[in-house]
Amino acid sequence: MFKRATAIVAALFFAGGVQAATLNEADIAGGFAAGNQNFNPDYTAVAYGFDTVVGTLTANNFDFLQFTDLDAGAQTISLTLELLVPSGAGYSNGGGELRYSEAYQSSPYGGTFGGNFALEVDPFNLPGTPSATLSFNLGSSFAGGDLFLALIPQYGNQTISYTTTLTGNGGSTPAPVPVPATGLLLLGALAVGMLALRRSAPHLVGA
């Protein structure tokens, strides 16, 4: 097994929370596609901090993604796909399936079946089905760490774009900004000062 060392670290910290980012296949040399690898597929490692991964698929050119440090616990992974149809194109289609696993699989068809996608556009029978969404849930027993995704386009005459979104890879809402102890002391001093001014102000009869 050979895993490509293309993980990009997205350690973006702000106010004590991780700011999630998008990883685009266009920014990776060679992209995510590992070809039609029937044995020992090569995964692209995605480091913690990316809550969105954007890529493209063409028939029989599979994409393999390995999220290396997912949060433990229940979470949802969603995959939105869209058929890219050039202007003036005739009948267009593309489809395949999604597989996922917590452990490396020696075959792209190993692991758990995550659903099929079938996209189609016929200019004489619009609107067709140019887009689709797949999603699956990791239960509360998920221990965190690795999650392997195999995106398997099995047929089609057009490119499919996809966006994978997940909160467990750094997409959670950042923690509230903590108020420093000095700030609390300052607020307390201001409150005492305002109370003292109120007590010292002259009382106006009839006001």
* pLDDT, tens only, 49-92: 999 999 999 999 999 999 999 999 999 999 999 999 999 999 99
Residue in 57, 1, 69, 59 with CA at minimum distance from that of residue 32: 57
66-77 confidence digits (pLDDT tens): 999 999 999 999
| Structure-token match 């027993």, residue found | 141
Q: How far apart are the C-alpha atoms of 108 and 151, rounded to whole Å?
A: 8
User: What is the pLDDT at residue 170?
Assistant: 87
Query: Could you tell me where the beta strands, DSSP code E, fall in 48-174?
Result: 50-57, 62-70, 75-83, 92-101, 112-121, 131-138, 145-156, 160-166
